[in-house]
Structure 1
Amino acid sequence: MTTLGAVFLPQLPPERLRAVARAADDAGLAELWLWEDCFLESGIASAAAVLAWTERVRVGVGLLPVPLRNVALTAMETATLHRLFPGRVAIGVGHGVQDWMAQVGARVESPVTLLREYVVALRALLRGEQVTMDGRYVRLDKVALDWPPASTATIYVGATGPRTLRLSGETADGTILTCATSPEGVRRARGLIDEGRAAGDRTDAHSVVVYLLAATGPRAAERLDAERRRFGYDPGQDLGVAGDARAVAGAVRRWADAGADTVVLQPLSDEPDPEGFVRFVAREVQPLVA
């Protein structure tokens, strides 16, 4: 079964989050996803607020840039959210935008090495293990959480390139793909993830989450085209969907058929009604997908 979600864009001011979160929860949206984009809003602080304001919606953070965060801190924050709100949070980590990492003095020479060390250490800490690591970037000396999650914590990796997709398959529990991923791109990503899983002798489940640009209402197709141009996407690429609930649900099914377990609808940057968007996803699109 395909899980459906929606994004709260951090380009909106933080004070808008409460109304959008409550609208999502009241409408029965399965998942609300948040971003930690520089220099907008904190992923962890936003997730904690949404979880406290709501009763049932699952919250995803996709993603936390690892150069900004000591892995022990990320483990502590993730474990705290899992203990406070069991089964309602999913955390993704990734390289971060390298220009932003350079701006804050956190850019590293080998982002892939950092991410590998980080994910290995993070998952071990969240399993309640005592971790000692003397890596190129991650160094821990007998570190263990006093309050690890009471149940398994799923860690996603945000990935685009082949090396990171293979790394995600080998080390993570799931992968997050950007809105620049077509259905064919999902298939290719699945293949690379499976290569990594084979290299790591992984036989457990690996969930793939993909963001999908979506526009509805007046001038939906025109607005979607403008958003594609803003992101620098080729107009001929199979990216995004515009139309009513049936059109959007049909697109969700195409991305799901290509290998996405969760499709997260990403509103356009000019979306005039964020609360209305999450209600549309939950009440009109979700039933058609289910």
Structure 2
Amino acid sequence: MTTLGVVFRPQNPPERLRSVARAADEAGLDQLWLWEDCFLESGIATAAAALAWTDRLAVGIGLMPVPFRNVAALAMEAATLHRLFPDRVLLTVGHGVQDWMEQVGARVGSPLTLLREHVEALKALLAGETVTTSGRYVKLDKVKLDYPPLGPARIYAGATGPKTRALACEVADGILLTAGTPPQEVAAVRSTAKAVTVYVHAATGPDAEARMARELESWDESDGWDATAAGDAAAVAAVVNRYRDAGADAVILQPTADEPDLEGFVRFTAQQVGPLVR
């Protein structure tokens, strides 16, 4: 069964999250995903709130830039979420946008090296291990969490370029692919990735195609219609099924920036699109 979710974009003010998360939970949506774009909203804070406001909804963060965080601090935050909300937490790390990392004085010479070191140390800490390492960027001396997760804690890595995708498939428990990734690229990483989650641009309603055209233009992807889902439930589900057939384990619909009804969109996804996918 393909997992179906929706992105709550951080361009929406934080106070909008409660209503959207509750609507998703009540509608039976599988997953709600949050972003940590600079300089909008914290991923950990919003995830904790969304998890506390809901009963069964899985909440993902995609993604958290590793240059921002000491790996031990992130491991503590992740472990706390997993202990408080077992089996409902999905965490993704990545390079972050390099211009933003430059703005905050966190840009590194080798983002690939940092990502490898960070993921490997983070996974070991969440597994309850005592970690000592002296890498180029990650340095730990006999660090062990007092309260590691009680069960498996999967760490995904977000990736766009071929080198980062290869690294994500090697060291992470899954790969997160951005909206605009066509199904054939999902199929290309499927053979090496442990799991694949992909965002897909999506819109519904009478003006869906017009809003999608504006959305693609805003991303400088005006020729990327083959990686979008626009229209009624049947049209959106058909696109989701294309990604499923390409090997996606989870398809997360990313609403347009001008989506007029976020609560309605999550209900539409769960209650109208979902049955046509499953």
TM-score relative to the length of structure 1: 0.94
CA distance in structure 2 between the aligned counterparts of 1:211 and 1:13, rounded to whole angstroms:
21
Aligned to 1:125: 125
Q: Which ranges in structure 1 are unaligned for 5 or more consecutive residues?
A: 198-205
1:54-75 per-position Cα deviation (integer Å, ceiling 9, x unaligned)? 0000011111100001100110
8 Å CA contact 2:180–2:224 kept in 1: the answer is no
1:130-168 per-position Cα deviation (integer Å, ceiling 9, x unaligned)? 001100000001101000000010000001111111111
Aligned to 1:148: 148
Aligned to 1:187: 187
Aligned to 1:174: 174
CA distance in structure 1 between the aligned counterparts of 2:69 and 2:201, rounded to whole angstroms:
29
CA distance in structure 2 between the aligned counterparts of 1:103 and 1:236, rounded to whole angstroms:
30
Q: Identity of aligned pairs, percent?
A: 65
CA distance in structure 1 between the aligned counterparts of 2:99 and 2:40, rounded to whole angstroms:
15
Query: Counterpart amino acid of 2:259?
Result: E
Matched residues, number: 278
Query: Counterpart amino acid of 1:232?
Result: D
8 Å CA contact 2:213–2:222 kept in 1: the answer is no
Residue 37 of structure 1, CA deviation: 0.7
Aligned to 1:201: none
TM-score relative to the length of structure 2: 0.98
Aligned Cα root-mean-square deviation (Å): 1.0
> Which runs of at least 4 in structure 1 moved beyond 6 Å after TM superposition?
none
CA distance in structure 2 between the aligned counterparts of 1:237 and 1:110, rounded to whole angstroms:
34
Aligned to 1:226: 214
Q: Which ranges in structure 2 are unaligned for 5 or more consecutive residues?
A: none
CA distance in structure 2 between the aligned counterparts of 1:289 and 1:33, rounded to whole angstroms:
19
Query: Counterpart amino acid of 2:239?
Result: A
Aligned to 1:258: 246
Note if 1:56 corresponds to 2:44. Answer: no
Aligned with 1:238: secondary structure? helix
CA distance in structure 2 between the aligned counterparts of 1:51 and 1:230, rounded to whole angstroms:
31
Note if 1:108 corresponds to 2:108. Answer: yes
Query: Counterpart amino acid of 1:32?
Result: L
Pick closer, same or farther for the CA change 1:237–1:26 going to 2, 3 Å. Answer: closer
8 Å CA contact 2:10–2:37 kept in 1: the answer is yes
Aligned to 2:134: 134
